Amino acid sequence: MYNDFSDRLTDAECILDLLRTQPSITDSADAKSFRFRGGKVKFEGVSFAYKDGKNILEDITFDTLEATTTAFVGESGGGKTTITKLMQRLYDVDSGSILIDDQDIRQVTRNRYVKTAW
């Protein structure tokens, strides 16, 4: 019973540490609510490297059309998952910009979304 209690206390401490962690990606002071208008995505000269310094994306530029499906195909480690993480703003780009419906994702709030009619 003591071991079970000790394990639960350790789990609770880990949860509290997670709750105290401050996010590294924050909204800018003048961030506006995101307005969904169809889902057009545009990467303009995007470069990104994780903390280890290895470039994952370098000067990537592409557009997607509204209400379409786009697939990223390539070898393991080619940046496919990184592209989706950047679009969700789990990380910020090192250079360039990502626009969704002509809105730079660094200029919109991360947690308030307003859906409008297409």
CA pair distance 37, 48, nearest whole angstrom: 27
| Cα four-point dihedral sign 40, 28, 86, 20 | negative
Other CB atoms within a 10 A radius of the CB of residue 46 amount to 22
What pLDDT score was predicted for residue 73? 94
Question: Which class is domain 28-115?
Answer: alpha beta
Residuewise pLDDT in 10s, the chain (118 residues): 888 888 888 888 889 888 888 777 888 888 898 888 888 999 999 999 998 778 899 999 999 998 889 999 999 988 999 999 999 998 999 999 999 999 999 999 887 544 544 4
What pLDDT score was predicted for residue 17? 85
Are 91 and 48 a contacting pair, CB within 8 Å? yes
Task: Give me the residue label for tokens 């509204």.
Answer: 66
What pLDDT score was predicted for residue 114? 47
Which whole-number Å values give the CA distances from 88 to 55, 81, 93, 99, 108, in the listed order?
A: 19, 11, 11, 11, 12
What pLDDT score was predicted for residue 115? 52
